[in-house]
Structure 1
Amino acid sequence: MDTIFALASAPGKSGVAVIRVSGPLATKACIDLTGGLPDPRVASLRLIKNRKDQRLDEGLVLWFPQKQSFTGEDVVEFQTHGSSAVVSVILRELSGIEGLRGAEPGEFTRRALENERLDLAQVEGLADLIEAETEAQRRQALRVLSGDLGKRADTWRQDLIRTAALLEATIDFADEDVPVDVRPEVTDLLGKTRMALFKEAKGVESAERVRTGFEVAILGAPNTGKSTLLNTLAGREAAITSEIAGTTRDVIEVRMDLGGLPVTLLDTAGLRETEDKVENIGITRARDRANHADLRVFLRESEQVELPREIEIRDGDIVLLAKADLRGNSSGGVSGLTGEGVDDLVTRITNTLAERAGLTGIATRERHRVAIEKTIAALDEAARQLELGEDRTDIAAEELRSGVRALDALVGRVDVENILDEIFSSFCIGK
């Protein structure tokens, strides 16, 4: 296997740069550049020199022996001064060592997967942690990276293997008296495992929203203050505002952090009947985004104004009177112009989305949901076969084996080659 190297810290000027080397020749690279190996997992201050014994830099060197490193291979890290010139000359020196090559995006993490230092779910958690922008995303990614999903999958897997073994025992002793009736234990294990799987699958949608972001659409007729409200929430002029009806023609998006949750606010075209073809396109887009949004804020001129019939009101949606600054001391209103009611609106949005985020489990991706639901389907079919009679026991046992294979796909033991390239393409070089 090749030995790979890369800059693991951000490119450009910095106080410290980290250059990582992983593979069978990592220790040779360390000896060539520094004259020896430091003690395992202990930082050592060393002069870094080229093959002509010319000084390149001085920095800390760490050696992580095989099986004690992130990748499961010998890893050496050079912590150097973070100038572009220093980094370039050291990378050039490493490239001159036979058997070393520059790493591809995500290759260090891929080796950690191949060497069973991480399972696939943990790799996805690491990718999410790198991309995390909010506190909720960080916490969720860390739960996945810690291996909690893999631990749960192992528990479910062991229960299914135990259940299949019990059933197969009745097949093996079909012509004899089996000393113990296994049906109660089989029924208990199937029920317990199915309930845990169902609960985990139910939380995937909310977990995905924490990972990718919630969408909150601001809706209403033209000139109800939607764009002004968006600008106030964003703290900048994100949308054009004017007294001319139909100014907003497209969906305008603003990314925000609300209570640690990633939220995208959507300013939409005013909903009305119009002959303007371009405005009609904007209204169609507004309706489409509203139907797919996680939460909608409806602004209306008065309580007598009907809400748009083509958009069904859902639990949690917020309906407010627009332009509260023109209404005196009215309650239940909001004004983007003066800020009246904005804090209350932000609190309501945050609390509603936080409640939904609280429903999340450890599974965070559509791939996880599919694997879990395949397992549930296998359990349901196994239970159905058992209800049909003892002569279907062998079919039920095979269905349970199918459930085990679905769980193996969840953590990357099988059937994942087609998604590995997609996952690792999101990683930077050096990770």
Structure 2
Amino acid sequence: MEQDTIFAPATAPGRAALAIVRISGPTALDALRDLAGDVPPARRLSLRVLQDSSRGEVLDEAMVVAFLGPASATGEDLVELHLHGGRAVVAAVCDRLSVLPGLRLADPGEFTRRAFLNDRIDLTTAEGILDLVDAETDAQRRQAIAQATGGLAAALEGWRETLVAAMARLEAFIDFPDEDLPETLHREIVDALSSLDAEMAMALADGSRAERVREGLRIAIVGVPNAGKSSLLNWLAKRDVAIVSATAGTTRDVVEVHLDINGYAATVADTAGLRETPDEIEAEGVRRALARAEAADLSLVLADATQGEAGRAAMGAYLERDNVLPVATKIDLVDGAVPEPWIGLSTWTGEGAPAFFQALETAMAQWMDRVGSVALTRARHRDAVVMAREAVGRGSAALESGAPLEIAAEDLRIAAASLGRILGRVDVEEILDRIFGEFCLGK
């Protein structure tokens, strides 16, 4: 249990109306008495004049609130000082706190870490808070809120409860070896484990999509030289990101830009024009373009509308792949509509933009919104569920084969422990520093 008291600004000071300084620990209330002269009633926001008693100087007129542990965010006595947002105000208050006995500046993520260590939250909730702080798009915000408010934890607890119930039944018959496991009870356990396996499989199938919401969908723009790939990237980014030139082979490496497209995060990559070339550098660019298209979650396949059927046919092989959006560019230079499934677009005039964005947003939503209720947002979640599912499979197989019940029970214990690691129940010390070190100061 932490014994010292920590403090830190919970918001960045600057030209803002409000800045919050948080104090957590056994002497948090003493620190409030030093600054404000008394401790107002708990959980009541009260106006106080904050002073540096050593110099008889007023620091600020602020709203203060005290939360008594263990019913606080950190599980300890917690104080919040709602200050005027100027840097000098925050600095003066923090300077006074820093000289008080037993107080020190908090490490990044230490407030949330204390909440975890004091059993106020589990690890998935802590990670959800971090994702919420880092959220840049609406989809990221929604997913982070769901995890921070216990959505993932509730699902994992349900899985663990299924395992614990099965283990309890098996242990009862292990402790009384003269009793045979009734056939009906045997079937109930096997069926419950089968349903659990199916839920885990579904979560693993959707897990990569949950990670994409956090990290952004990978979109590649591919096409022959001068198909308008760099122009499309610049148009999407609303700034000059890639060099646009009539000279074929201008783009020789992958150029990336991070975008928010209709509330979804995406990393859009412009790639080299696809063609046979004796130029060694351009050939390497083509190789990288093909690799990026292969790894992309969604590819925008471009064809120059002025080239007619020949231009579209040159990219025909790429339309056979999954997750592609065919776009015919430069439609302002041709008469008539382009044939389906191609979507006509001019980045010069904006013609075709509504249909293009609707198709792009639909494609992204199909990818991103397929995340189920159990959203495994990190590799460590997925790895632990894989281990748990493998153990459940071994336990089910042992029961079906008539092996000793101890074998099945041990596999179920392994599965429950794997899920417990996600929540932070067992064997987590080695990952705590990594998780909470990602937080900003004062959180």
TM bin, normalised by shorter chain, reads over 0.9
Instruction: Report if aligned partners of 1:201, 1:369 keep a CA contact under 8 Å in 2.
Output: yes
Residue 347 (structure 1) aligned with residue 354 (structure 2): no
Structure 1 residue aligned with 2:439 = 427
Structure 2 residue aligned with 1:369 = 382
Separation in 1, partners of 2:4, 2:309: 70
The equivalent position to 2:331 in structure 1, one of 302, 324, 330, is: 324
Shift of 1:314: 2.3
Structure 1 residue aligned with 2:195 = 192
Instruction: Report if aligned partners of 1:225, 1:335 keep a CA contact under 8 Å in 2.
Output: no
Shift of 1:274: 1.8
Q: Is there any run of 5+ residues in structure 2 with no aligned partner, and where?
A: none
Separation in 2, partners of 1:180, 1:238: 67
Residue 130 (structure 1) aligned with residue 130 (structure 2): no
Structure 1 residue aligned with 2:39 = 37
The equivalent position to 2:422 in structure 1, one of 392, 410, 422, is: 410
Shift of 1:340: 2.3
The equivalent position to 2:6 in structure 1, one of 4, 7, 27, is: 4
Separation in 2, partners of 1:279, 1:181: 68
For residues 376-402 of structure 1, give each alpha carbon's deviation from its aligned partner in whole angstroms, at most 9, with x where no partner exists: 11110011111221x422101110011
Which residue identity is paired with 2:96? E
The more displaced of 304-313 and 239-248 is 304-313
3-state SS of paired residue (2:120): coil
Separation in 2, partners of 1:8, 1:304: 60
The equivalent position to 2:349 in structure 1, one of 338, 353, 378, is: 338
Residue 246 (structure 1) aligned with residue 258 (structure 2): no
Structure 2 residue aligned with 1:303 = 309
3-state SS of paired residue (2:309): coil
Structure 1 residue aligned with 2:25 = 23
Which residue identity is paired with 1:367? R
Map residues 127-166 of structure 1 onto 2, 5 A cutoff.
127-166=130-169
Which residue identity is paired with 2:428? V
3-state SS of paired residue (2:371): coil
Provide closer, same or farther for how the CA distance between residues 40 and 328 of structure 1 changes in structure 2, counting only shifts above 3 A. same
When the two structures are aligned, how many residues end up with a matched partner? 430
Instruction: Report if aligned partners of 1:167, 1:182 keep a CA contact under 8 Å in 2.
Output: no
Map residues 159-174 of structure 1 onto 2, 5 A cutoff.
159-174=162-177
The equivalent position to 1:258 in structure 2, one of 261, 265, 284, is: 261
Which residue identity is paired with 1:406? S
Instruction: Report if aligned partners of 2:167, 2:413 keep a CA contact under 8 Å in 1.
Output: yes
Provide closer, same or farther for how the CA distance between residues 360 and 177 of structure 1 changes in structure 2, counting only shifts above 3 A. closer
Shift of 1:214: 0.5
3-state SS of paired residue (2:323): coil
Shift of 1:374: 1.0
3-state SS of paired residue (1:354): helix
Instruction: Report if aligned partners of 1:210, 1:261 keep a CA contact under 8 Å in 2.
Output: yes
The equivalent position to 1:226 in structure 2, one of 220, 225, 229, is: 229
Normalising by structure 1, we get a TM-score of: 0.95
Structure 2 residue aligned with 1:359 = 370
Instruction: Report if aligned partners of 1:229, 1:337 keep a CA contact under 8 Å in 2.
Output: no
Instruction: Report if aligned partners of 2:173, 2:180 keep a CA contact under 8 Å in 1.
Output: no
Structure 2 residue aligned with 1:49 = 51
Separation in 2, partners of 1:375, 1:263: 31
Instruction: Report if aligned partners of 2:254, 2:269 keep a CA contact under 8 Å in 1.
Output: yes
Instruction: Report if aligned partners of 1:62, 1:76 keep a CA contact under 8 Å in 2.
Output: yes
3-state SS of paired residue (1:303): helix
Which residue identity is paired with 2:310? Q
The more displaced of 354-363 and 15-24 is 354-363
Instruction: Report if aligned partners of 1:3, 1:101 keep a CA contact under 8 Å in 2.
Output: yes
Separation in 1, partners of 2:60, 2:248: 64
Which residue identity is paired with 1:324? I
Which residue identity is paired with 1:341? G
3-state SS of paired residue (1:49): strand
Instruction: Report if aligned partners of 2:319, 2:326 keep a CA contact under 8 Å in 1.
Output: no
Provide closer, same or farther for how the CA distance between residues 104 and 176 of structure 1 changes in structure 2, counting only shifts above 3 A. closer
What RMSD in Å do the two structures reach over aligned CA positions?
A: 1.8
3-state SS of paired residue (1:46): strand
Residue 268 (structure 1) aligned with residue 271 (structure 2): yes
3-state SS of paired residue (1:14): coil
Separation in 2, partners of 1:123, 1:176: 45
Map residues 279-294 of structure 1 onto 2, 5 A cutoff.
279-294=282-297
The equivalent position to 1:209 in structure 2, one of 198, 207, 212, is: 212
Residue 91 (structure 1) aligned with residue 94 (structure 2): yes
Shift of 1:29: 0.1
Instruction: Report if aligned partners of 2:259, 2:268 keep a CA contact under 8 Å in 1.
Output: yes
Separation in 1, partners of 2:328, 2:181: 72
Instruction: Report if aligned partners of 1:290, 1:311 keep a CA contact under 8 Å in 2.
Output: no
For residues 90-141 of structure 1, give each alpha carbon's deviation from its aligned partner in whole angstroms, at most 9, with x where no partner exists: 1110011010000011111110110111100011101100010111110000
Separation in 1, partners of 2:284, 2:221: 17
3-state SS of paired residue (1:304): helix
Shift of 1:307: 4.5
Shift of 1:181: 4.1
3-state SS of paired residue (1:40): coil
Structure 2 residue aligned with 1:103 = 106
3-state SS of paired residue (1:242): coil
Normalising by structure 2, we get a TM-score of: 0.93
Separation in 2, partners of 1:56, 1:177: 75
Structure 1 residue aligned with 2:412 = 400
Instruction: Report if aligned partners of 1:291, 1:311 keep a CA contact under 8 Å in 2.
Output: no
Provide closer, same or farther for how the CA distance between residues 179 and 344 of structure 1 changes in structure 2, counting only shifts above 3 A. closer
Instruction: Report if aligned partners of 1:3, 1:23 keep a CA contact under 8 Å in 2.
Output: yes
Q: Is there any run of 5+ residues in structure 1 with no aligned partner, and where?
A: none
Separation in 1, partners of 2:92, 2:369: 49
